[in-house]
Amino acid sequence: MGQFSNKWLLKGGNGEILCHSEVNTTKQSAERGAETAKRIAPAASVIDRT
């Protein structure tokens, strides 16, 4: 089984980084963190680069 490492960023309309995650070691923890960010900033667009 391979290793998983992921980090996400939340950027404002001007490109400024508003917040970021810690490095997630499982896909499940990365998805939970992204879902939390979506709840906090519902108008933010999502770009999945996986």
Structure tokens at 49: 């680069």
**CA 41 to CA 50: how far, in whole Å?**
21
Query: What's this model's pTM, rounded to 2 decimal places?
Result: 0.54
Q: What is the tens place of the pLDDT at every residue in 3-42?
A: 667 777 778 888 898 878 778 788 888 788 878 878 887 7
Q: What beta strand segments (E) does the chain contain?
A: 9-11, 17-20
Own/partner pairs, 20-24, CB within 8 angstroms, 24+ separation:
none
**pLDDT for position 1:** 47
Count other Cβ atoms within 10 Å, centred on residue 29: 15
Q: Which residue's structure tokens are 């499940």?
A: 28
pLDDT for 50? 66
Mean residue pLDDT across the chain: 78
